[in-house]
């Protein structure tokens, strides 16, 4: 029986103009040795592979669709047949690093249960880039994903995160669906104490990247539009 292959976790650019700043030579070498992938979106995955320097004909590739619909409908264990037969497979997110704020974590967890070697490749993570640029505590931090949609619940959660940041000196990170970014920012400015520090990291690695880190008192003097722009919010 063949030894299992390796599951490579392949980062992809956060922005359409950021390919050159996102791919390492080792990543490019790796994708030219892999013919099978587990992806969230086949069309964008093929584009990312081309940008990363794929030399193999794309017609030779096997792509397993791990999009939202298929996650609910398909038995994902079939995605592992190649790995169990000894073939290396790449896992690709829609943007950034697989498994970080990303459903690919379930694929990685199943690989570990099967005793398959997992190798993460270097690439952009919006959460880490935002934390690096915030000036906030990088030794103690927590990512909370999405806050409640309900305004009352969202406001309460913001107060909880603010108190936790103050009590534990811990950076609090969270995100929102891009078309609700402006509502979330307005709620933060309405709810948080003026001395609380807020960092907004928007369109990271893109040509119009925006990173602002300052107290709420200063934020209340600003007017910015985050609508439909991928954004990470940090409180400290």
- The per-residue pLDDT for 75 is 72
225 & 198 share domain: yes
Q: Are residues 23 and 93 in the same domain?
A: yes
Do 99 and 31 belong to one domain?
Answer: yes
**10/116 same-domain check:** yes
Residue 67 pLDDT? 77
Report pTM: 0.90
Q: Are residues 165 and 65 in the same domain?
A: no
Choose one of 91, 120, 149: the last residue of a domain: 120
pLDDT of 102 reads 86
Query: The domain spanning residue 190 has which CATH number?
Result: 3.30.950.10
Query: 166: burial class by Cβ within 10 Å (0-12, 13-18, 19+)?
Result: middle
Same structural domain for residues 30 and 74?
A: yes
Q: Structural domain tally of the chain?
A: 2
Output the DSSP codes for the chain: -PPP-EEEEE-B-SSTT-HHHH--HHHHHHHTT--EEEES-HHHHHHHHHHTT--S-GGG-EEEE-SHHHHHHS-GGGGGHHHHTT--EEEE-SSB-TTSSSTHHHHHHHHHHTT-EEEEPP---HHHHHHHHH-S-SSSEEEEEEPPSSHHHHHHHHHHHHHHHHHHT-EEEEE--GGGHHHHHHHHHHHS-TTSEEEEEESTTSTT-EEEEEEHHHHTT-----TTS-EEEEE-
pLDDT of residue 71: 56
Residues 116 and 146 in one domain: no
Do residues 98 and 185 both lie within one domain? no
pLDDT in tens, the chain (236 residues): 678 999 999 999 999 889 888 999 999 999 999 999 999 999 999 999 999 999 999 999 999 998 766 655 567 788 999 999 999 999 999 888 999 988 899 999 999 999 999 999 999 999 999 999 999 999 999 999 999 999 999 999 999 999 999 999 999 999 999 999 999 999 999 999 999 999 999 999 999 999 999 999 999 999 999 999 999 999 99
Q: What is the distance in angstroms between the CA of the first residue and the CA of the last residue of the chain?
A: 53
What domain range is 20 assigned to? Answer: 6-120
Domain boundary at 73, 103, 120, which?
120
> Do 161 and 229 reside in the same domain of the chain?
yes
Say whether both 96 and 175 belong to one domain: no
Tokens 């993570």 -> residue: 125
Quick check: is 1 in a domain?
no
Last residue of a domain, one of 120, 136, 156: 120
Q: Please, which residues have CB within 8 angstroms of residue 107's CB and are 6 or more apart in sequence? A: 7, 38, 66, 76, 79, 91, 98, 99
Calpha distance 110→106 (Å, rounded): 6
Domain shared by 160 and 225, yes or no = yes
Same domain? For 102 and 157 the reply is no
Give the pLDDT of residue 101: 86
């Amino acid at each position: 029986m063949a030894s299992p292959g390796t599951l490579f976790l392949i980062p992809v650019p956060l922005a359409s103009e950021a390919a050159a700043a996102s791919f390492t030579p080792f990543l490019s070498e790796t994708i030219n040795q892999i013919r099978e992938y587990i992806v969230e979106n086949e069309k964008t995955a093929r584009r990312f592979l081309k940008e990363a320097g794929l030399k193999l004909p794309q017609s030779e590739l096997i792509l397993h669709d791990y999009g939202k619909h298929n996650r609910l409908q398909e038995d994902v264990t079939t995605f592992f047949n190649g790995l169990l037969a000894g073939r290396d497979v790449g896992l690709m997110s829609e943007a950034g690093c697989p498994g970080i704020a990303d459903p690919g974590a379930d694929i990685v967890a199943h690989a570990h249960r099967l005793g398959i070697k997992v190798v993460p490749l270097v690439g952009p993570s919006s959460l880490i880039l935002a934390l690096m640029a915030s000036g906030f505590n990088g030794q103690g931090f927590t990512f909370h994903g999405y806050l409640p949609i309900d305004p009352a619940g969202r406001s309460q959660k913001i107060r909880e995160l603010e108190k936790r940041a103050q009590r534990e000196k811990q950076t609090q990170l969270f995100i929102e669906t891009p078309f609700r970014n402006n509502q979330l920012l307005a709620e933060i400015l309405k709810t948080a104490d003026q001395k609380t520090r807020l960092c907004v990291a928007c369109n990271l690695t893109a040509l119009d990247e925006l990173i602002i880190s300052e107290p709420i008192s200063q934020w209340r003097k600003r007017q910015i539009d985050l609508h439909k722009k991928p954004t990470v919010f940090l409180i400290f």
